[in-house]
Amino acid sequence: AGLVIAMDGPSGSGKSSASRGVARALGLRYLDTGAQYRAMTWWMLRQGVDLADQAAVAARSGEPEIVSGTDPDAPSIQVDGVDVGEPIRQDEVTSAVSAVAAVPQVRARLVALQQEIVGTGDIVVEGRDIGSVVAPDAPVKIYLTASAEARAQRRSAELTGTTARAQQAAMARRDTLDSTRKTDPLSLADGAIELDTTALNLEEVIAEVLRLVKE
């Protein structure tokens, strides 16, 4: 199988831009696993599933058909044939995704889907459990970090109508939700290299990852 690069880290660490840039530079495919958890969440909300009811979420988690496009220049995601690239970024989904991602049946289904896509290799995969669960044998594993301030600033620059301060509070809330749940996947995987991006711009992060890939 071809090269697999695992890119894990918390929100605002610059994962998405860096992962796409690395995929583009090396002519690899790109998979955003967070978008799949968001797509599952979007579908549950539309179906009116009570997200506080883990058994209900688990029972329906096999229903939506989720398809990810893997072109780093035009990443896409569809649920039952509908393009959900925009709606999955809305606040309603963002504030609900941690609860859905905490359900073991959701994780099992999406990890299986991800492993199917990663199977043939030649891909950069971003998420929170890629180096540990989805692709533990990946030859290159990067764990991106950044200070809380830098992460909030990047995230608010991506969104409109939010200040860095409000964003930092919202992200801290989601970080806590993600990291205190029993099924939190975010951790420094075996063999992963930690890369602190606080003082680096996007080009510098990409260059550093490419250097690590060549090693």
Site for ligand CDP, rule CB under 6 A: 11, 33-34, 37-38, 97-98, 101, 127-129, 174, 178, 185
Distance in Å, CB of 187 to ligand CDP, minimum? 11
Cβ-based nearer residue to ligand CDP, 27 or 188: 188
Cβ-based nearer residue to ligand CDP, 78 or 215: 78
CB atoms within 10 A of CB 19: 31
Contacts 24+ apart (CB under 8 A), 76-82: 77/32, 77/35, 77/36, 77/38, 77/39, 79/39, 79/42, 79/43, 80/43
Distance in Å, CB of 121 to ligand CDP, minimum? 18
How far out from the chain centre does Cα 203 lie? Answer: 20
Distance in Å, CB of 34 to ligand CDP, minimum? 2
Using Cβ positions, the residue closest to ligand CDP within the complex turns out to be 34
Cβ-based nearer residue to ligand CDP, 135 or 209: 135
Dist. CA 96–CA 106, nearest whole Å: 14
Cβ-based nearer residue to ligand CDP, 102 or 209: 102
